[in-house]
Amino acid sequence: MDKASLVLLSLVVPLVLLLLPLSRPASVVTHLPGFHGRLPFRLETGYVGVDEETGAELFYYFVESERSPDTDPVILWMTGGPFCSGMVFFEVGPMKFVLAPYNGSLPQLAYNPYSWSKTTSIILLDSPVGTGFSYARDVEGYHDIGDFSFSMHVLIFLNKWFTDHPHYQSNPFFVGGSSYAGKMSPIIAQHISQEIELGKQPKINLKGYVVGNPVTGSDYDDNFRVPYAHGVGIISDQLYEAAIRNCKGSYIRPTDKMCARVLNTFQNLVSEIDVSQILGVNCIRGMLTHRFLSEEYIQLSDPSPEQPTLDCFSYRYYLCNIWANDDSTREALGVKRGTIGEFVRCKKSIPYTSEVPSSIKYHFNLTSRGYRSLVFSGDHDLVIPFLSTHAWIRSFNFSVVDDWRAWHLDGQIYNHICQLYDICDNKGWWPRIHRTPT
C-alpha cells in the first residue's frame, strides 16, 4: 500500500469504526446467501482482537467437525499469500461455488462432501491483518506487517480463542496452512510449544502441524525450479545443461552474465504456463515477472481485472469476490460495518516483510521434540516443486519406516505416493497442484 493510499485510508475511516467495541460475541451462522436451506454443519464466525494499540482484529470462521466434535482434532488453517483469504470455500473448507456462467445474480453455493470438516473441526483464519475481513482501526496497524507480527498475532488469537472455547482445549490441535502460510505454520507451532513448556495458560493440546506445498526458503524453493522444469519437459536438455554449467547449481540472483541469460530464457518459457498447475489452463499469462525465481510472496492464479473464463481455476476467485462484497453476505457472516471497503480475496496492496529467511529449522525443532508433521506437495506445481520439499525433508536424516507406495482411491491407483519417516510421522503425498485440494 503506497503512502497516498495509506493517507486516504486514514481519512475515510468512519466514526462508527472508532466507536466499535474491540470484541464482539461470536455469531452462529445457520444460513448463507446462495445456499438453499440450512447449512449441514455448524458454522461460527467472529473477531478476536490481537493488538489493542492499533485495534487490529482477526476474522475467523469456525466449522465444527461433523463427526465427533467433542473428541475430534481441531486444526487452524491459513491460506497462502500472504493476505489471501480462503473463507469457507477453498482448500479444506466445507463449501464450494457452483461453477456456472455469471449472470449478474449472487453466485450459488454447494456443500463440499470432501471437506476436512468431516472428521476435524477447522478454524479458518484471515491472517495477517488486512486479509479478508480482518482489519485494524488505526492505519498504523497496516504498517510493518511481516513474519514476526503475523506469527505473534496468530498466537494471541489462539490463546484468546481457546480461552473463549474451553471445551476444545483438550482436543488434539494442529496448525496448518498452504503455500506461504505453510512457511508460517511451523513458526506458529513452535511459539505454542514454547508456551506449553513455560506452563502458560490456556494450555493448548498441540500435537503437530500440517503444511501443503509449503514455502520454506529460496535456497530450496527457488533452486529446484529449474531441475523440476527439466524433469517434466518444460525446458530442453541443452538449456538445462547450460544452466548447470553457467549457474553452477545456484539459480538465485545470478552474478554471471551467461547465467542471467540462461535464467531469462527459462523465465520466458515458464511464463507461457500456469506455474501453480503446469497442465492447467494458463489464465494469468503475462502476470509473472523476473521476480519469480526469488519470489516468496506467493499470490498466483488470482483473477486478473477482467472476468476469467469458466475453465480457469481463478473463476472461483472471481465468484468469491462478488459473493463477499454483497451486503447480504456480510450481514450473514456478522462482518462489522465500516471495517473494510471492497473485499479482495488476495490483497496485493499491503507491504509485507519476509523476515524469516528459512522455516527449515522450525520443522526440525518441532519434529525432534516429537510433534507430528504432515507435509504434502503437488507434483504439477512449479511454484514450490516437490523436489525441494523432498530435499529439505531428507536433510533431517530421519529413518524411513514406510517406503514409497501407490495411493489407492475407490479401488484405483490415484497416481499418488507416500513416504513415512519415524520421529515425526512426516508424510509426503502428491495432490498435483499448488493449491491444497479438498
Q: What is the pLDDT of residues 389-405, one digit of tens each?
A: 999 999 999 888 877 77
Q: Residue 407 has what pLDDT? A: 74
- What span, in angstroms and rounded, lies between the C-alpha atoms of 5 and 253? 31
Q: Residue 403 has what pLDDT? A: 78
Q: What percent of the chain has pLDDT over 90?
A: 70
Q: Residue 412 has what pLDDT? A: 77
Q: Residue 410 has what pLDDT? A: 79
Is 409's pLDDT higher than 60?
yes
Q: What percent of the chain has pLDDT over 70?
A: 83
Q: Residue 280 has what pLDDT? A: 86
Average pLDDT over residues 135-155: 96
Do residues 77 and 56 touch, judged by C-beta distance below 8 A?
A: no
Taking the CA atoms of the chain, what radius of gyration do you get in angstroms?
Answer: 22
Q: Residue 320 has what pLDDT? A: 96
- Domains of the chain, first to last: 3-217+305-421 (3.40.50.1820), 223-294 (no CATH)
Q: Residue 285 has what pLDDT? A: 54
* Banded model confidence at residue 249, pLDDT cuts 50, 70, 90: confident
Residues 155-207: pLDDT tens digits? 999 999 999 999 999 999 999 999 999 999 999 999 999 999 999 999 999 99
- What span, in angstroms and rounded, lies between the C-alpha atoms of 41 and 63? 7
Is 333's pLDDT higher than 80?
yes
Distance in Å from the first CA to the final CA of the chain: 33
* Banded model confidence at residue 288, pLDDT cuts 50, 70, 90: very low
DSSP 323-378: HHTSHHHHHHHTPPTTS-SS--SB--SS--B---S--HHHHHHHHHTT-EEEEE--
- What span, in angstroms and rounded, lies between the C-alpha atoms of 430 and 171? 28
Do residues 186 and 392 touch, judged by C-beta distance below 8 A?
A: no
Average pLDDT over residues 148-158: 98
Q: Which of 32-36, 184-188, 344-348 has the lowest mean pLDDT?
A: 344-348
Do residues 229 and 382 touch, judged by C-beta distance below 8 A?
A: yes
Is 427's pLDDT higher than 90?
no
- Cell numbers 516443486 correspond to 385
Burial of residue 166, with CB atoms counted within 10 A of its CB: 0-12 exposed, 13-18 middle, 19 or more buried: exposed
Cβ burial 227-258 (10 Å sphere, 16+ → b, else e)? bbbbeeebbeeebbebbeebbeeebeebeeee
Q: Which of 45-54, 321-330, 383-392, 398-407 has the lowest mean pLDDT?
A: 398-407
Q: Residue 90 has what pLDDT? A: 87
Q: Which of 47-51, 123-127, 183-187, 415-419 has the lowest mean pLDDT?
A: 415-419
Higher pLDDT, 3 or 254: 254
* Banded model confidence at residue 414, pLDDT cuts 50, 70, 90: low
Q: Residue 299 has what pLDDT? A: 46
Q: Residue 355 has what pLDDT? A: 96
Q: Residue 437 has what pLDDT? A: 53
Whole-prediction pTM: 0.88
Q: Residue 305 has what pLDDT? A: 52
**3-class DSSP state of 116:** helix
Nearest to 247 by CA among 224, 255, 227, 218: 255
Average pLDDT over residues 83-101: 94
Q: Which of 71-80, 131-140, 320-329, 410-419 has the lowest mean pLDDT?
A: 410-419
Q: Residue 413 has what pLDDT? A: 72
Do residues 108 and 37 touch, judged by C-beta distance below 8 A?
A: no
What are the DSSP E strand ranges found in 140-295?
Answer: 173-178, 206-212
Residue 266 sits at φ, ψ, to 5 deg, of -60, -45
* Banded model confidence at residue 416, pLDDT cuts 50, 70, 90: low
On average, the pLDDT of the chain sits at: 86
Average pLDDT over residues 311-321: 92
Do residues 140 and 54 touch, judged by C-beta distance below 8 A?
A: yes
Average pLDDT over residues 423-429: 43
Q: Which of 64-68, 282-286, 321-325 has the lowest mean pLDDT?
A: 282-286
User: How far is residue 399 from each of residues 68, 199, 361, 404, measured CA to CA in Å?
Assistant: 34, 32, 18, 13
